[in-house]
Amino acid sequence: MSDSDSGEKIFSLKGRPAGVIAGLTSAIVLIMVLTYLLIDFTPLKKTIRGYPSRESREAALQNRLLVDSLQKQISLWAFQVGNIQRVMSGREPLDLDSVATLASNSGSSDMYAAMYAHQDSVLRGIVEREIAQDVSAGDQVSTQIEGLKFFTPVKGMVTETFNQAINHPYIDIAADENTTVYSILDGTVISAGWNDDTGYVMIIQHGHDLISAYKHNDRLLKKAGDKVKTGTPIAIVGNTGRLSTGVHLHLELWHAGEAIDPAKYISF
């Protein structure tokens, strides 16, 4: 480079074209690296439109964990409802551990869903056949559960008796507050949770195609999947749920899908 007036050379820059290109490339890469470091490790990144903040990323992670938890809970509810349907139709309930193992070994949620759908269709077919054959529930009860020794679920007084004619296929037992509720037979808890109408509810599947339901509890002492023995404490009598009218136990007894009168088999 030279002075425009005197023509004197001020400085000169010599280099091969390949060297010039390499130098420019290095400079560009260096600028990009510095720009990245500046944006990533300084608050400058927060000024970029659309860049998520730390708070928003943490919220997204929490939402993802919540959705995963809800999906697991919904799957458990579906499993419990399916087991109740199986028991009421006179079939053996599925074991939660075995189903979970099968699902994990299959490696495919689609395979598990197809299996569950098939079981539901088979269940519907059995129920339809039983309706067509008009099976006598009374004969089944007398044949299969006659002689069983039932444990009194709660100490109290029966205030409402079993009466299907008025849509009351259960009994209500008034009891003192904080009274313990016991399992009437050996079995497995297939449902334990909250219902807006009936409060804290415990449902137990027993042998001989029997299930028992205990409603309006103050709190539950067992969870779904627990094994219980005859006389095991399972809940505390309460007054929970929109339909409750006082501290009492709402007791239901079902055999092969038919409601039966607990007072015929249990002494209160």
pLDDT digits (tens, 9 = 90+) for 63-83: 777 777 777 777 777 777 777
**Residue 207: pLDDT band by 50, 70, 90 thresholds?**
very high
Residues 104 and 150 in one domain: no
- Copy the structure tokens of residue 78: 């579906």
Please, which residues have CB within 8 angstroms of residue 76's CB and are 6 or more apart in sequence? 224
Q: 185: burial class by Cβ within 10 Å (0-12, 13-18, 19+)? A: buried
160 with 76, same domain? Answer: no
Residue 97 one-letter amino acid? D
Question: Sorting pLDDT into bands at 50, 70 and 90, what band is 138?
Answer: very low
Alpha-carbon separation of residue 232 from 152, 153, 181, 267 (angstroms):
11, 9, 8, 17
Q: Which of 87, 103, 133 is the last residue of a domain?
A: 133
Domain end, chosen from 133, 161, 193, is at: 133
Residue 34 in any domain: the answer is no
The sign of the torsion formed by the CA atoms of 46, 49, 51, 54 equals positive
26-30, 95-99, 131-135, 155-159: range with lowest mean pLDDT:
131-135
Query: Quick check: pTM over 0.75?
Result: no
Three-class SS state of 249: strand
Residue 156 is encoded by which pair of tokens? 């109290």
- Predicted confidence band of residue 128 (pLDDT cuts 50, 70, 90): low
Report the amino acid identity of residue 63: N
Does the residue 70 lie in any domain? yes
Looking at per-residue pLDDT, the higher value among 40 and 108 belongs to 40
Inter-CA distances, 238 with 42, 82, 174, 176, 182, Å: 58, 27, 10, 9, 14
Distance separating alpha carbons of residues 127 and 257, to the nearest angstrom = 9
Helix pair 109-133, 96-106: axis angle to 10 deg: 140
Short-list 224, 257, 247, CA closest to 79: 224
Number of domains present in the structure of the chain: 2
**C-beta of residue 179 within 8 angstroms of C-beta of residue 233:** no
Q: Do residues 140 and 232 touch, judged by C-beta distance below 8 A?
A: no
Which domain covers residue 122, as residue numbers? 54-133
The closest of 233, 236, 239, 231 to 178, measured between CA atoms, is 236
pLDDT of res. 58: 72
Q: Note the pLDDT of residue 23.
A: 77
**Domain CATH code at residue 211:** 2.70.70.10
Residue 125 and residue 168 in one domain: no
Task: For residue 102, name the pLDDT band (cuts at 50, 70, 90).
Answer: very low
pLDDT digits (tens, 9 = 90+) for 141-198: 555 687 889 999 999 999 999 998 888 999 999 999 999 999 999 999 999 999 999 9
* DSSP 3-state of 99: helix
For residue 114, pLDDT beyond 70: no
The pLDDT value recorded for residue 246 is 94
Residue 134 banded pLDDT, cuts 50, 70, 90: very low
Q: What is the pLDDT of residue 169?
A: 93
Whether 167 and 241 map to the same domain: the answer is: yes
Indicate the residue type of 187. G
Q: Categorize the per-residue pLDDT at 48 as very low, low, confident or very high, splitting at 50, 70 and 90.
A: low
